[in-house]
Amino acid sequence: EVQLVESGGGLVEDGGSLRLSCAASGFTFDDYAIGWFRQAPGKEREGVLCIGTSGDGTTYYADSVKGRFTISSDNAKNAVYLQMNSLKPEDTAVYYCAANGAKYCAGDYREYDYWGQGTQVTVSS
C-alpha cells in the first residue's frame, strides 16, 4: 500500500522555524519526484517546492518562499523534508507532500499520483 505521511506541523510565532517530514512507503522512492504543496482556507492548493528523483535538483514554485524554505531528501529513509525558516502568518496552511511517478517536478498538483493527509502549519503574528 502506497503511503505518504507528513509530520512536523504545528503552531509557531512569526519569524520562527519548522521542519516538516514526509515518510514514504509502498513504492520505489527513487522513481518518484516528491513535491510539497500547501492549501490555505479558501485558496487553491499551491506548489511550494519539489525535489527530483534520487534527490536530483530542486524546483521552487512559490516565489514567496525563496530564501526561506528548502527541500531535502534522505533516500535511505524514504523521506523528504521541508525546512521552513523565517515563517510568516501568510505561510499558514495545510502542507501536503505528494509523489509524481512521471519522475519530473511539476507545479500543478493534478500531476501527482499519491498524497499524504497533510499537516497543519499555523504562524501567529
pLDDT in tens, 62-112: 889 999 999 999 988 999 999 999 999 999 999 999 999 887 888 899 999
Distance, in Å, from the CA atom of 85 to the CA atom of 42, rounded to the nearest integer, reads 24
pLDDT tens digit sequence for 19-30: 999 999 998 878
What is the reported pLDDT for 23?
96
| Mean pLDDT value across residues 48-62 | 81
pLDDT band at 114 (very low <50, low <70, confident <90, very high): very high
Determine how many CB atoms are found less than 10 A away from the CB of residue 31.
Answer: 13
With CA atoms as reference, report the closest residue to 116 among 27, 31, 55, 54: 27
Q: Which residues 6+ apart lie within 8 Å of 76 measured at CB?
A: none
